[in-house]
Amino acid sequence: MLPIGIENATKIMNYISKGGKEYVCVMQVHCEYNKEELAKIISSFKGEIYQRPPVRSSVKRRLRIRRIYDIEILDMDKKLVLLRVNCDSGTYMRKLCHDIGIIYGCGAHMRELRRTRSGIFTESTNLVKLHELSEAIYLYKNCKDETELRRVLIPMEFATCEIPKIVIEDSAVNALAYGAQLAVPGVVAYQNFKKNDTVAVLTLKGELVATGNALMDSEELENAKKGIVVNLSRVFMQRDIYPKAWKKHES
Amino acid sequence: MKWKMRKCPKDNIYTFKDTCQICGSKTVIPHPSRFSPEDKYVKYRIELKKGITLNC
């Protein structure tokens, strides 16, 4: 499972990839093991762990702290152990298996790996195989049937479902697309958020306009008459989709 | 390499065994098969899945 953003939605991938991950992996231990002892060692990995990225990795190899939220043994068979791991993004499963092997004393390595959840996207609800994507594209291109493609591609607004939202007036949308700040009068509705939280700015129809960091709490916003609400970091809305609603200052 | 991981398509449970311990149905290998962007046989795959002949 790997969420992929296309075209404009590539911008939102930053928010998606930071979410927690869930893996199912097959670990092969290099000796006959005692089930209870190994289970004890594996459960001791729950919590914060230190991990140095492996030799072949795309990040700087310095020791980092990652949290394992849950680690569960699903099955055991001879030298193999089937694990389900819930962890932070940036945790290397191969390294985790290796470390378990070192602590057990005879070494271990990862044999198979499958990511079953990435942030809000889970295997059972959102997983699409490349074959299915290819079929959907074929049906769309040759049969003008887009139902399958619409099932496979989901709107990027889906990715904002865990972020607090601010709904703004239609008249403010194009101004934001041109780089204006979001001020209090433009806000129509909002969910609760704290200062510095990441918030998503939506139109009345629920289209994603931008994301950014809140400059005030939602309680503060309730009483505010003017001022800037959000420090926008990413603007998704294209220019001139919404009509221009501001007056040009004539000098 | 021989895949060892199995998954029950009904219960979404991972195991090493060939039958699901909950429902008793046959488990499958969860890893997807190889894919090539060329995908020559996509038409035939759709036909097989839908059980119809495509005329487009």
Residue A177 lies in a domain: yes
Question: In the predicted model, what is the mean pLDDT of residues A60-70?
Answer: 90
**Best interface-test mutation with B: which of A97, A115, A138, A145 has the largest number of B CBs within 10 A?**
A138
Do A25 and A115 share a structural domain? Answer: yes
| Among A76, A82, A124, A148, the residue to mutate for chain B (most B Cβ within 10 A) | A82
Q: Does any domain span residue A248?
A: no
Locate the domains of chain B by residue range.
1-31
Q: What is the pLDDT of residue A11?
A: 86
> What mean pLDDT, rounded, does chain A reach?
88
Residues A30 and A110 reside in one and the same domain: yes
When CB atoms are compared, the residue of A123, A129, A139 closest to B46 is A139
Strand partners, A211: A200, A234
CB–CB of A82 and B56 under 8 A?
A: no
Q: Which domain holds residue A50?
A: 20-122
**pLDDT(A54) > 80:** yes
Average pLDDT in the A125-145 region?
90
Please give the residue of chain B at the shortest CA–CA distance from A23. B14
**B2 to chain A: which residues are within 8 Å by CB?**
none
Which residues are CB-contacts of A216 (< 8 A; sequence separation ≥ 6)? A195, A224, A227, A229
For range A108-120, the mean pLDDT = 92
Distance from CA of B19 to the nearest CA of A (A): 13
Model confidence, pTM: 0.82
Per the structure, the count of domains in chain A is 3
Interface predicted TM-score (ipTM) of this complex, two decimals: 0.86
Size of interface A-B (CB pairs under 8 A): 60
CA-to-CA separations, A223 to A168, A207, A237, in angstroms, rounded: 17, 26, 28
